[in-house]
Amino acid sequence: MTAVGTDSGGRPPLLPVAEALARILAAGRTHPRTIKRVPVAEANGRVLAADLAALRTQPPSDVSSMDGFALRSADAAQPGARLAIIGESAAGHPFSGTVGAGEAIRIYTGAVLPEGADTVLLQERATVSGDWLIPEIALAAGTHIRRAGRDFTEGAVALRASTRLTPGAIALAGALNHAKVPVFARPRLAILATGDELVAAGAHDAKTGIVATNAYAIAAMARAAGAEILDLGIAQDTEASLEAAFDAAAGWPADCLVTIGGASVGKHDLVRPVAAKRGATLDFYKIAMRPGKPLNFGTLGPTLLVGLPGNPVSALVCARLFLMPLIGALQGDARAGQDDAEPAMLGAALAANDERQDHLRATLSRTPDGRLIATAFPDQDSSLLSVYAVAEALILREPHASAASAGEACRILRL
């Protein structure tokens, strides 16, 4: 294991961000999953649990890609030929006969190409006089025709397992003729805020306490990532209160219990001791990052445990970096944990960094020629929700990064 930095007093070194994410993803990918079949119209954002093969061919026949006239290319080899119009073919209403020499039919976009015809003349390139058609140009065979199976053929796999279904993928699944699709069940996350100082929003004592808004934000992020949420409310700094919350999470049951606060090693930080008393195994509890060093991760029986820091920005940054990828992995998403950092340039100078990877809240803008600029807020305190709420990205700063000037290259994660 590679690590950077150490705690004072000879405690274990801090775990690098990349290694912490790798461990979390590994646990998510091996966590048991169930499969459901849901209507394709309700599958947006879900992850396919099996390959999806076409149940039909698209298009099922050769069809016209334009409005015009279907005819034999040999009859339009010389401009000025006169062809008899013997019928029409419209989408859903194909022509039942055969186009012979010197004949043509009116055809519309998406209509089946009739037997005998091998090309389509655009209506703008034709002169019509009564039941007679005079092509104005010569045509090659196959012009303006979509061949059968151009999009997909019956039996071919069109969507792979572990694909997250976008609106475009849903349209394709429906076109494949699937009324329902197999998807992984949504992961179930129980969220617990901890601390005697916390009160609910709107409480009469909010002026003296701290409003427990972290859970609201993390629940919103988790739902957007595809999770089902159980809000366990606020646990007091007592073993009994935490035990009751753990029982509720197990009884739901939760795939993952997310605690907020109580993750450090102070006298009143009881989350880890209570979890350990119940048989939890802790994988790690400190990350070489800022904000968010006291991040816990482990297991309690079949339940994954994620202990987020109590500071608002620390909790939200850790959720962005670790919890959202975990939710993807729990759904079998092949892209979970994929590096989605983007290049940008600094809008203001930055001081040298210490041994922890930094995540600076920043605004985004562009230069006149379109290059992305990320400008860090001057105050990066991890308690400032007013800053996080208007931040558009995190500027990523590697451990021991040198001081950087405005205009230098950087990498960002969008919020």
Tell whether 335 is covered by a domain: no
Range(s) of the domain holding residue 391: 342-414
Of 330, 357, 382, which one is at a domain's C-terminal end? 330
pLDDT, position 205: 65
Q: For residues 212 and 319, state if they share a domain.
A: yes
Question: Residue 276 sits in a domain of what CATH number?
Answer: 3.40.980.10
Tell me what percent of the chain is helix, strand and coil, each rounded to the nearest 5: 20, 35, 45
DSSP assignment of 163-209, as one string?
Answer: PBPPHHHHHHHHHTT-SEEEEEPPPEEEEEEE-TTEE-TT-TTTTTS
Tell whether 80 is covered by a domain: yes
Q: For residues 202 and 298, state if they share a domain.
A: yes
Q: Kindly report, residue by residue over 120-147, the tens digit of the pLDDT.
A: 999 999 999 999 999 999 989 999 999 9
Question: Residue 372 sits in a domain of what CATH number?
Answer: 2.40.340.10
- With a cut of 50, say whether residue 4 has pLDDT above it: no
Segment (H or E) for 298: strand 296-300
Tell whether 153 is covered by a domain: no
Q: For residues 261 and 323, state if they share a domain.
A: yes
Q: For residues 325 and 190, state if they share a domain.
A: yes
Q: Kindly report, residue by residue over 322-373, the tens digit of the pLDDT.
A: 999 999 999 999 999 999 999 999 999 999 999 999 999 999 999 999 999 9
Tell whether 56 is covered by a domain: no
b/e map of 343-357 (b: 16 or more CB within 10 Å)?
Answer: ebbbbbebeebeebb
Q: For residues 79 and 29, state if they share a domain.
A: no
- In the block, residue with structure tokens 């016209």: 64
The distance of Cα 335 from the centroid of its chain, to the nearest Å, equals: 8
In this prediction, residues 216-227 reach a mean pLDDT of: 95
pLDDT, position 340: 93
Q: Can you list the alpha helix ranges (DSSP code H) found in 270-407? A: 271-277, 312-318, 324-330, 385-388
Q: For residues 172 and 41, state if they share a domain.
A: yes
Q: Residue 285 — pLDDT band, cuts 50, 70, 90?
A: confident
The whole-chain average pLDDT of the chain stands at: 92
pTM for the structure as a whole: 0.85
Q: Residue 200 — pLDDT band, cuts 50, 70, 90?
A: confident
Tell whether 253 is covered by a domain: yes
Q: For residues 301 and 318, state if they share a domain.
A: yes
- With a cut of 60, say whether residue 1 has pLDDT above it: no
pLDDT, position 202: 78
Tell whether 337 is covered by a domain: no
Q: For residues 180 and 268, state if they share a domain.
A: no
pLDDT, position 264: 61
Tell whether 151 is covered by a domain: no
Q: For residues 229 and 191, state if they share a domain.
A: yes
The more confidently predicted of residues 37 and 209 is 37
DSSP state of 98: B
Q: For residues 202 and 289, state if they share a domain.
A: yes
pLDDT, position 273: 87
The more confidently predicted of residues 92 and 209 is 92
Instruction: Tell me how far apart the alpha carbons of residues 61 and 94 are, in angstroms, rounded to a whole number.
Output: 11
The domain tally of the chain equals 4
Q: For residues 278 and 348, state if they share a domain.
A: no
Q: Residue 65 — pLDDT band, cuts 50, 70, 90?
A: very high
pLDDT, position 5: 41
For residue 177, give the nearest of 201, 197, 151, 138 by alpha carbon: 151
Instruction: Tell me how far apart the alpha carbons of residues 164 and 268 are, in angstroms, rounded to a whole number.
Output: 41
Question: Residue 107 sits in a domain of what CATH number?
Answer: 2.170.190.11
Highest mean pLDDT among 187-191, 259-263, 385-389: 187-191
Tell whether 336 is covered by a domain: no
Q: Kindly report, residue by residue over 93-129, the tens digit of the pLDDT.
A: 999 999 999 999 999 999 999 999 999 999 999 999 9
How large a percentage of the chain has pLDDT more than 70?
A: 94
Nearby residues of 229 by Cβ (< 8 Å), 6 or more positions away: 189, 190, 191, 219, 222, 223
pLDDT, position 305: 97
- With a cut of 50, say whether residue 220 has pLDDT above it: yes
Q: For residues 46 and 30, state if they share a domain.
A: no
